[in-house]
Amino acid sequence: MDRSPFYTMDDFDFNGKRVYLRIDINSPINPITGEVVDDTRFIHYLRTINELKNSKVVIIAHQGRPGDSDFVSLRQHAGHLGRLLGRDVLFVDSLIGSAVETAIRNMKNGDIIMLENSRFYSEEILIKDDGAAQKNTFIVRNLSKLFDYFIIDAFPAIHRDQTTLTGFKDIKPNIAGRLMETEINSIDRFMNSKSHPKLAIMGGAKIRDAIKVTGPFLEKGIVDNIIFGGVAANIFLWASGIDIGKRNMEFIEKQDKNYKKLLEECKSLLSRFSDRIYLPEDFMLNPLQTEIKTGEKVPDGQLLADIGFESIKTFSSIIEKAKNIFLNGPMGMYEINEYSLGTREIFNAVSQSPASKIVGGGHTINAINEFGLSDSMGYISTGGGALINYLSGEPIPVIDSLVYNRKKFGGN
């Protein structure tokens, strides 16, 4: 078996060691109480933490961004994680300093500490890795001397070049945690699979993400075909010269100020891959709740809120033939019952398919859970932007850092 390009937890004995564990439990927060309202990400980390039961584990994580309502302390996160583990998780309300150092040096085997939100510190967000910059931060200089190993398991943040993620790569071994390892292996398996047809289903409102992966997917043969739904489909239809209605055009314009450039990218993709891109044949209008064929004039004030019956039939037939499926994004406004049919039927078709499946994106996972399909959707990734960046072939700072670290400490 080929050696992993980065260290994994199989490469070291962590018993009795002090372990720095960087995870990503950035979660939806109740704006009034500060409590975590969706602990999906917490659950993904139980395996890594439980494997370290004989170690001294110090957890570093972030929550929200400065200025946002969910930019809160991790105190309640520590309590929530402790309840899931059935173990005490001590919270220390700082990331660096004497209180942190004392708490870590006094740890016994089996102890778990969670430090304060790393994004409370400007060094985390503002300093990018230009060589010495991260290494000279207070964060790295203070924490690097306290640990034997650094486990980086924050897959949803792999596209972030931030100090607690990539700043320790020159200090000691940096190791992919179990979630990181599983995510990368699952995605690589999909990308490298020789079982065809390979199908991507792209929906939702994040049009830039959908366009970003389309080129690499089709140019490199990662997938054979792409089905588009949601706003992602609308911008391709607009680019092809089809009337999508004033309100839908305005929605796209508000979504991205560079929408004109995105339209040109869509035109280019359609000119090269029109036979491999599938767009909806019909839609359900909101608020009229009537169907309209693609190309018919969209009445003023109407949103293309869901795909129609013909689109459901065509897309389901394509899904039925696929051997590998990547699903990212709903077909429409699934949160409103009257416009949930398209998403529900397409997701049902994916769930019933015997194909190998990988699913990602926050709204996608929410819809899957709402429809009760989570047990039949293959591998459900924790990544949103991270997953899209990885699939589109963009540089991934955290993975690059892990690979560099193994070369530095483990030879070629």
CA distance 88 to 82: 5
Give binding residues as ranges. 24-26, 41, 62-65, 119, 160, 335, 361-364
pLDDT of residue 2: 62
Identity of the residue numbered 307? I
Domain ranges of the chain: 7-179+395-410, 193-381
Burial class (CB in 10 A: 0-12, 13-18, 19+), 53: middle
HSE-CB of 176 using CA atoms within 13 angstroms: 26
d(Cα 33, Cα 27) in Å, to the nearest integer? 14
Q: Decide: pTM greater than 0.85.
A: yes
Alpha-carbon distance of 406 to 403, in angstroms, equals 5
**What's the confidence (pLDDT) of residue 130?**
61
Top CATH class of 193-381 equals alpha beta
Using alpha carbons, select from 341, 346, 371 the residue that is nearest to residue 357: 346
Which amino acids are annotated as binding site for substrate, given as ranges? 24-26, 41, 62-65, 119, 160
- CATH placement of domain 7-179+395-410: 3.40.50.1260
- Could you state, in chain order, the average pLDDT of each consecutive group of 10 residues for the chain (412 residues)? 85 98 95 87 97 99 94 96 98 98 98 98 84 88 98 97 95 98 96 96 96 96 97 98 97 96 98 98 96 96 98 99 98 96 98 97 91 96 92 92 95 60
Which residues sit in the known binding site for (2R)-3-phosphoglycerate? Answer: 41, 119, 160
Question: In a 10 Å sphere around its CB, with 0-12 CB exposed, 13-18 middle and 19+ buried, how is residue 1 labelled?
Answer: exposed
Residues 364/328, Cβ–Cβ less than 8 Å = yes
Q: How much is the pLDDT for 1?
A: 42
Binding residues for ATP, as ranges, are: 335, 361-364
Sign of CA dihedral 269, 270, 275, 276: positive
Domains 7-179+395-410 and 193-381 share a fold: yes
